Amino acid sequence: MPVVRDELLRLESTHDIVAVRHEVREWATALGLNLVDQTKIVTAASELARNALEYGGGGTACLQALEEGARKGLRLTFEDRGPGIADIALAMTDGYTTSGGLGLGLSGAKRLVNEFEIRSTPGEGTRVTITRWK
């Protein structure tokens, strides 16, 4: 899938989460995603950015606009060098939490997008890639 635009954002503070939300909304609008799809990708991005900051100690968010003919989409990759996730299947279970929250972060983000991929190595970090298509 051809990438027509990309940008790398740092995730070092809660202000960066707000910046990611803002950029994702702008990109989704520019790609022509409707309001519901914009809200879904922004919500998923917010959750994943927060996870990278809180659990991974910070990291990056890579935004990529995709176009192939008439098909357009937005791919986001969140990466950190934190402790990683030992049991991805457990972490993806609704209700699972390590922080006392609702436990809908990763599984909720997955439900909001068309494509979801997670890779994590304990002691090395986590990478989550999501895509929302128009």
Would you place residue 66 in the very low, low, confident or very high pLDDT band (cuts 50, 70, 90)?
very high
What domains appear along the chain, each with residue ranges and CATH number?
3-133 (3.30.565.10)
Q: What is the pLDDT of residues 67-95, one digit of tens each?
A: 988 899 999 999 999 999 988 888 888 76
Minimal CA–CA distance to 78: which of 19, 26, 9? 9
pLDDT at 82: 94
* Residue 6 Ramachandran class (φ > 0 left, ψ -120 to 50 alpha, else beta): beta
Structure tokens at 79: 């990466």
pLDDT at 68: 87
Give CA–CA dist 108/105, Å, rounded. Answer: 5
- Tokens 């989550």 identify what position? 128
pLDDT at 84: 93
Q: Is the pLDDT of residue 101 over 90?
A: no
Please enumerate in sequence order all residues whose Cβ is within 8 A of that of 89, keeping only pairs 6 or more positions apart, or say none: none
Helix (H, G, I), strand (E, B) or coil at 7: strand
pLDDT at 102: 40
